[in-house]
Amino acid sequence: MSSNFPKDFLWGGAVAANQCEGAYLEGNKGLDISDVVVVGADRFQNIKLEIDESKTYPAHEAIDFYHRYREDVKMFGEMGFQCFRTSINWARIFPTGEEEMPNELGLQFYDDLFDALLLEGIEPIVTISHYETPLALTQKYNGWSSRKLIPMFEKYCEVIFKRYKDKVKYWMTFNEINNAIRLPFLAAALDITGIENWMPLAFQASHNMFVANSLAVKLCREINPKAKIGCMLSLSNFYPATCSPKDVFETYSVRRRSLFYSDVMIRGEYPGYAKRLMKELGAEIEILDGELELLKNYTNDYLAFSYYRTATIHAGQEIEFNTGGGVGLENPYLEKSAWGWPIDPLGFRYTCNELYDRYQVPLFIAENGLGMVDEIGEDGKIHDQDRMNYLRDHVQAMEEAILDGCDIFGYTWWGPIDIVSAGTGEMKKRYGFIYVDKDNEGNGTLQRTKKDSFDYYKKIIETNGACLRK
Ligand code: BGP
């Protein structure tokens, strides 16, 4: 069976530290922003910047990956993973963001984790900031709206680039950076409580993050010229509800609110439409001397993105966003997941092509997956056929995109082991090929069990995707 995937294609899975590690105060870790978010679909409303003992916080224990990663990594190895994307929790390294010296226990934890991965032949792919800004930086400076965070981030990057120079070849700066204007607390550590027009702050935060991104690229090139450093965006896509030119143009404009981010970080400059948008939204951002040159000179090596679904929208619609992207109208051509996310593999091929046409830089699929309710069958096993179908259809769509000419160098399934949902804090919304015994209330033994999809993905990896050829 011959494969259409490049021979060194990287297959694997992706998680974020805050959604799996738990041990939220262990090893001298400081609180990060995800530690104060409670369970529930409205978890980003009325955020309190402190812990309320009467509430439940899923990230505090999560799936206890902090203590159990050896067992989990072994199972990833058994599936044949060639890479594993996780984040370093910034608050493990600099508990309040402002310490003079990094926290050795935090650094040691990631040393051990990366060693365990490498021992299994798994390349660590590391997100530097995945919704884990130290909470103190929101309390003191309102997160990335302040440029004070830039040198702190730079120092954090320098520490980890030097420390993991021989272990990590692939970096990503900010997870889903374009969510700064959609989910500002998570993506930009920005508390917008009580601020009526928060868009100017969110655009300033985005600019500060662009500068930080370029400084990270610069440092990475100096410290480890062989490493690759990407930017990472949420790029689930949009369709116009009708062929009315108004719907089509509005859809394009909404899309460009995302592509604005990759335009800056891949092409190296603010596009004209973004300047106009900011003006219309009253966002007069501060740009210091030399910053535009920095953005121009230090662009990312590759574009990583998450793709879950498409949303159908029409002109004038107020669009809500959640972790999967925009929430649209009913699309009669698509089935939906139990959480109402439209399932659209062709939209995935479309998105890969759209991005490669626009940028001609290597693409990395950093997240793709299906959150569903898993039932344990009478035989004690989990037959997750819907997940396997989603995986099959999206891998086939990616193969088509490669045949279309897109340069895609890797694919990491979101949540290869069940983890806490970023959008709702639930355990019930499972993505894993490995089941974790824990429920929404926090009960369970945390025991790990393979689902049917485990062997299915293993086969895909083993054959470099060829087993799915139509
Ligand atoms: C992305 C995030 C992830 C992740 C995923 C799925 O936005 O980068 O952290 O969790 O969405 O979303 P959810 O967990 O809400 O199902």
Chain segment 114-148, per-residue pLDDT in tens: 999 999 999 999 999 999 999 999 999 999 999 99
- Gyration radius of the chain over CA positions: 21
- State which ligand 1 atom lies nearest to the alpha carbon of 423: 15
Which residues, 6+ apart, have CB-to-CB distance to 278 below 8 Å?
Answer: 203, 284, 285
Ligand 1 near 179 CB (within 6 A)? no
- pLDDT for 180 beyond 80: yes
176 is catalytic: yes
Residues 101-112 pLDDT 10s: 999 999 999 999
Is the minimum distance from the CB of 234 to ligand 1 under 6 angstroms?
yes
Q: In ligand 1, which atom is closest to the CA atom of 16? A: 9
Asked if the model's pLDDT at residue 1 lies above 90, the reply is: no
Q: What is the mean pLDDT of the chain?
A: 97
- In the prediction, which pLDDT does 411 show? 98
Average pLDDT, stretch 204-224? 98
| Per-residue model confidence (pLDDT) at position 42 | 79
Query: According to the model, what pLDDT value does residue 46 have?
Result: 80
The pLDDT assigned to 141 comes to 98
The predicted structure's pLDDT at residue 44: 83
Q: What is the pLDDT of residues 30-58, one digit of tens each?
A: 999 999 999 887 788 888 999 999 888 98
Q: Confidence class of residue 437 from pLDDT cuts 50, 70 and 90? A: very high
Residues in the chain, total:
470
Residue 351, phi then psi, degrees to nearest 5: -65, -45
Q: How far, in Å, are 181, 185, 190 from residue 205 at the CA level?
A: 9, 11, 8
Q: For 57-89, what is each residue's pLDDT tens digit? A: 988 999 999 999 999 999 999 999 999 999 999
Instruction: Please give the average per-residue pLDDT across 384-393, as a whole number.
Output: 98
pLDDT at res. 249 = 98
pLDDT at residue 364 greater than cutoff 90: yes
- Ligand 1 pocket residue status of 325, Cβ below 6 Å: no
Q: Which residues contact 235 (CB under 8 A, 6 or more apart)?
A: 178, 258, 305, 306, 307, 325, 351, 355
Whole-number pLDDT of residue 41? 74
What is the reported pLDDT for 39? 87
For residues 390 and 383, give the distance between their C-alpha atoms in angstroms, rounded to a whole number.
14
Q: Is 421's pLDDT higher than 80?
A: yes
User: Tens digit of pLDDT for each residue in 16-34?
Assistant: 999 999 999 999 999 999 9
pLDDT at residue 227 tops 90: yes
pLDDT at 126: 98
pLDDT at position 43, please? 83
The closest of 313, 321, 324 to 390, measured between CA atoms, is: 324
Biggest alpha carbon distance in the chain?
Answer: 66
CA of 266 to the centre of ligand 1 (A): 23
pLDDT tens digit string along 237-275? 999 999 999 999 999 999 999 999 999 999 999 999 999
- Please give the share of the chain, as a percent, with pLDDT higher than 90: 95
* Percent over 70 (pLDDT), the chain: 100
- Cα 102 to chain center, whole Å? 24
Q: Is 178 in the pocket of ligand 1 (CB under 6 A)?
A: no
71 classed as catalytic = no
Name 44's Cβ contacts closer than 8 Å, sequence gap at least 6: 37, 183, 185, 186
Q: Which CATH number fits domain 10-468: 3.20.20.80, 3.40.1800.10, 1.10.260.40, 3.90.1150.10?
A: 3.20.20.80
Q: Where are the beta strands (DSSP E) in 47-193?
A: 83-87, 123-129, 170-174
Q: Whose CA is nearest to atom 12 of ligand 1?
A: 323
Q: Which of 367, 399, 400, 426 is catalytic?
A: 367
* Minimum-distance ligand 1 atom for the alpha carbon of 339: 16
CA 367 to chain centre: 6
Would you state the pLDDT for residue 270?
Answer: 98
> Is residue 346 very low, low, confident or very high in pLDDT (cuts 50, 70, 90)?
very high
What is the model's pLDDT at position 274?
Answer: 97
d(C-alpha 72, C-alpha 88), whole Å: 17
Residue-level pLDDT at 8: 97
Q: What is the pLDDT of residue 147?
A: 98
Compute the average pLDDT of residues 416-445: 96
Q: Given pLDDT bands bounded at 50, 70 and 90, which one contains residue 469?
A: confident
Domain range list for the chain: 10-468
Would you say the CB of residue 436 lies under 6 angstroms from ligand 1? Answer: no
Report field, pTM of the whole predicted structure over 0.95: yes
Kindly tell me if the per-residue pLDDT of 294 is higher than 90. Answer: yes
Nearest CA to 373 among 365, 389, 384, 361?
A: 384
Atom of ligand 1 lying closest to residue 183 CA: 7
Atom 9 in ligand 1: which residue has the minimum CA distance? Answer: 422
Q: Tell me what pLDDT residue 351 has.
A: 98
Confidence of residue 179 (pLDDT cuts 50, 70, 90): very high
How far apart CA 58 and CA 36 sit, in angstroms, is 9
Give the residue whose CA is nearest to atom 5 of ligand 1.
323
Q: Active-site residue among 21, 176, 250, 426?
A: 176
Distances (CA, A) of 114 to 73, 90, 125, 271, 382: 10, 16, 10, 38, 30
Q: How confident is the model at residue 431 (pLDDT cuts 50, 70, 90)?
A: very high
pLDDT at residue 45, as a whole number: 81
Give me the pLDDT at residue 345, please: 98
Q: For the residues 407-436, what does the mean pLDDT come to? A: 97
